[in-house]
Structure 1
Amino acid sequence: MNLEIPDGLGDLLRDFTVAVLKERPGDLYDFAVDYFTKAREARRPKDVPMYIIVEDDDEAGEPDRTAFKPKTSSGRYARRQSVSAERYNPEEDEDDDDFIIHPKTDEQRERLTKTVSSILLFRSLEPEQTSQVVDAMFERKVVPGETVIQQGDDGDNFYVIDTGVYDVLADVKGEEKKVHQFDNRGSFGELALMYNMPRSATVRAVTEGTLWAMDRSSFRRIVLKSAFKKRKKYEDLLESVPILQNLDRYERMTLADALVSRVYQDGEAIIKQGDDPDGVYFVEDGTIRITMASPDGTEKEIGVKTTCTYFGELALIENKPRTASVYAVGRVKVAFLERDCFERLLGPCVEIMKRNSQNYTMSVSN
C-alpha cells in the first residue's frame, strides 16, 4: 500500500516533541490534548490579518531583527503563514560574479556596514558578501509625506533606514491605519522580495530622511543565494560528522541554518578552561589543540582534532564551566551553535554525546 505523508506532519510532530521535552508533563495524554487544542486555535483566522514591521531590541539597544508579523484586530500576533507564491530558486540561478557597485564615500561605507551588520537578515553573511550588500545599495532621499512603498504593489527594493521617521500604514477593512513607526533606524521591504508577494503595508516618510536601497535582483542573488550556499555547505559538513548520523535530513537542514561561521588565527584561544559554556563548535577547516591546566598552572596538551569533529559539548551537557582550553593551530574555521539551540536541535544526539564524553573523561584521567 502506497502511503503518502501529509504536508506539515513532520513540522507538527517535531514542535510537539520539543514542547514535551521542555515541559516534561506528568500526563502525556492530557498534555497532548491541551497542546493540539491550542495549536488548532492558533491556526483559526482572526478577522483580516495584516502585516506590520516589528523591531526587537537586544541588550545593547541595537535592532536585533526586522520582520513582518501578522497582527489580528485583537492586537495579538500570530505565526506568519507561508506564502504560496512563486519563489526564487537559488539552485537554478547560475553563478555570476558581475555584481552591481554604487560608489560611496569611506564614511558612508563604514556607517552602512555597521548598520547592515546589525540586521538579523545579514548576520550570517561572510565579510565578502556583506561588502557586496553595501556595494549594491544606492542612496534615496525622501521628503515628508513621500510614499516609499505602497501596500499591494510589487516589491522592487529592500530598504535600510539611515535617517528619518517613517510611518507604517495598513489597509484594514478599507481604512488606512498606522500600525508602526520607524525612528531613524530599521529596515523593511524584504518580505515581498523573498516570497514574490505584493507589499503588505505602506511605508510613508514623516520627516526628511535618507534610505539605502537594494534592488530585487541584487537582494536575491546576494542574500538568498548566500543563505542557500551556506545551508548546503553546512549540510555537507554535518553529514560527515559521525555523531550526527542519527539526524534526519530535515533536522540536519535546520541545524545547518542555525550554525554561524567563526574564524580563528594561529594560537588564538577558541575556548578557555573555566569559562561558562556558550555553545558547541564543529571544525569546518583546520586543526585545533586541546589543553588542560595542571595544579601547578602549566598546560598539558591532551589532544588534537581536525575537520569534521566537534568540541565544547561536555560543558553544555553537564552544565559546568569549560574543563579544557582549545587553541587554533594555524588558521581555523569553525561552525558555532549557540547554547540555546543545542538541546533543541541536537536532542537525538545528546545521549550519544554523553556516552562519548564519559569515555573522553576516563581517557583523560588515565
Structure 2
Amino acid sequence: MEAKLKELQQKLEKQCQINQELQNENRTLEKRLKEKEKLLEDLQSHLEEADRLSQRSSSDGLEVRQSRAAVMAPEPIPEDMDISSTRVKKTTSERAQIMKAMQKNDFLIRLDEEQISMMVELLSSLDRCPGDNIITEGTEGDSLYIVAAGELRVTQAGRTLRTLTSGDVFGELAILYNCKRTASVKAVTAVKLWCIERQIYRSIMAIKSKKKREQLMGFLKTAHTFKSLSDEQLSSIIDSMEEVKFQENEVIVREGAEGNTFYIILQGEVQVTKKVNGQQKVIRKMGQGDYFGELALIREILRTATCTALVPVTCFAIDKEAFEETIPIEILELHDDPDLLENTQTSKKESSVSSLQLKDLVPVLYQEGRYQGNPITLGLGGFGRVELVTTLHHGKYFALKRISKKLIVQKRQEEHVLFEKKLLMDIECDFIVKLYATFKDSRYIYMAMDFCSGGEIWTKLKEAKRFEENITVFVAACVVEAYAYLHKKDIMYRDLKPENLMLDSRGYVKLVDFGFAKKLQRGQKTYSFCGTPEYMAPEIIQNQGHDFAADFWSLGILIYELLAGSPPFSSSEPQNIYARILDGVMKFPPHMGEAARSLISKLCRPRPGQRLGSTKNGMRDVRTHRWFNNMNWHKLRMKQIDAPTLKLIRKGPCYINFDRFPFDKIQDEEEFSGWDRDF
C-alpha cells in the first residue's frame, strides 16, 4: 500500500511539475504576444506619423504626379428630384454636433454658411446594429456619413486602420462624384449615423447657386448705372464679384474717403449717415437687395455718406479695377477679331478617306519586343482604348478609338459621346485632332482619328521631368489657339491636361479627347462635376456653376505642371487636392520665371470673372501677356514656326513615342438599347 501511495505521490508531483512548466510557457507566450502587439502598435503609429509628415511636406512643397490623372465623368443632376422628403427635424444639440463635425473636416469646412445650413437640414438619420456593414471596400459610393453615436471600425484589405466614434465624418468623396470605396466600415456597436446622398447634395448646391445668381442678376438690373448692359455682361460682373462680411457696427464706407467699390447687400441691415452741421444725421437704412457705391466704378469720387453695419452684414462686392477688366467702355467684346483667330486655310478632311469603312481598317502590329506580333495600343482610357490601324487602300495611319457601349450606358455618358462625335465632325482646326469617320457594332463604337505620331505630352514630360520654358511657351500657345477656336464656337473643353495633348510629326500640339466638352451660351452656367481633380477650377468643386473661365484656370495649371513637372495642387488623396485648390495657396519653384508666375497667377484667380481670358479683352489678353512676347501668333497659325518640341520626338517605328500596352482579348458585353443609332 505504501509503495502505491509513494508511486501516486511521485506521479502527482510530476504532474504538478508539468503544470508549472505549462504555466511558465503560457506566461512566456503571453509576454511575447504583448510584445508583438506593442510592436504592431508602434508600427501603426510610425505609419500614421509618416502619413502625417508626408501630408505636411506635400503642403509645404511640390508633390510630383507620377501616375496618369484620374478622370471624373460628368454626372447629370436630376431635374425633378424631391429633396424636401429627406428633411429630418434635429434638436439643438444634434445640430451643434453635426456643425462641429463638419468644421473638423478638411473639405466640408470650406463650404459657405448657407451651404452648411442646407446640408445640416437635409441630413437623414440611419440606425445600424453591431456587425452591420456601412461601406464595403471596392463598391461604388453615393453617400457621406457623420457618426452621431456608437463605434465603427475602418479596415482595408482586412487590416484595421482606425476606429470611428461620435463626431467623425467618412465617405465625403462620394458626395462629389461616383467613386469606388477604398476601405470598409463596419459597426462595432449599435450606431446612429447622419447621412446625405450625392444627388441630393449636388441638387441643393446647384439650386442654391442658381437662386443666388438669379437674385444677384435681379439686383443688378435695378442699378441705374447698369441699365444698358446685357444679361451676358451682368453675368460677367457677377463672376467678378466677391462675398464680403462685416461685423455689427463696422464701417463699410466712410464719408470723404476715396471710393472704388460697389456693394450689394445680401444679408443684414446697413445705416447710411451724413455729416450735417457737424453732426451725423441718419439718411436711411438699407437691407437685402439694396446697393451703394455704383458711381465709384465709373469715375473718381469721394464717398458722400458713411455706411455702417447695424447687424452682421454680408455683401457681394466688386472693385473698380476688377470692373474695368470685366466691362469695357463700349460694347463688351466677346471674341477676338477674325484676323486673330485660327488659320482659316485649314485643309478639309481628305476626300480619300471620306468613304472609310470599319472593315477597311487593319491593326498595325508591334515589330519587336515582348509584345511582338500583337496589335498596337496607343492609349487606355476609362471607357476603352485607342489602337493604331492602317488601310490597305491608301496606307494612311489612324488612331482608332474603341469605346464600350455597355459602359457608356452604365455611366450615363450617351449624350456626351454623341456630342463628342458631332463636335469633332464639325471641327476644322490645326490644333485639334481630326475625326475622319465613326462606326459601331454590337459591343463598341469606333472613332477613326488623326494619328499623332509624336506621342503624348504626358509621356514626354515624365521623360524630361520638366520642360524648358521655350517648349512650354510653344505647347501653351497651341492650346490657346485650340481654345480660341472652340470658345468662338461657344464650346468649353473642360479636360485640359498633358495626357490630352498629342504631338504630330512636326512637333505641333493637338487637343484630343472631347468627352467632357460642352456647348454653352454666353452668360449661362453649367453645374456638372467633371474633369481631372488636379485641374478642376474652384467653382466646379463648390458646385457654384462654371463656364469658359474654367478652361482658363486649367490652362494656368497646365503651364505650371509643364514648367515644374507637377501641378500646383496635388496629393494621393483627391479630397486633399480639392482642399488645396479651395485654399488657393500656390507655391512656385525657385527656377520658375517671373513672367510665368504672373501669367499663371492671373489665369488661376479664384473668381472666374477676374481670370485672364475671361475679362473684357478675352483671349487677346492671354496672347499679349509678356510671357508670350516671343511668340509670333500669325506664324504659329500658319505652322511656319520650327517647333521646339521636335527634339522630344524619338525616331524609329511609328509607335516608338508611345507607352506599350498588352493586347486585351476580352470582349465587352453586347448592348442593344439603340442610343447609338446616329453613329
Q: Which has the larger radius of gyration?
A: 2
The two structures have a TM-score, normalised by structure 2, of 0.28
TM-score normalised per structure 1 = 0.45
Name the one with the larger strand percent.
Answer: 1
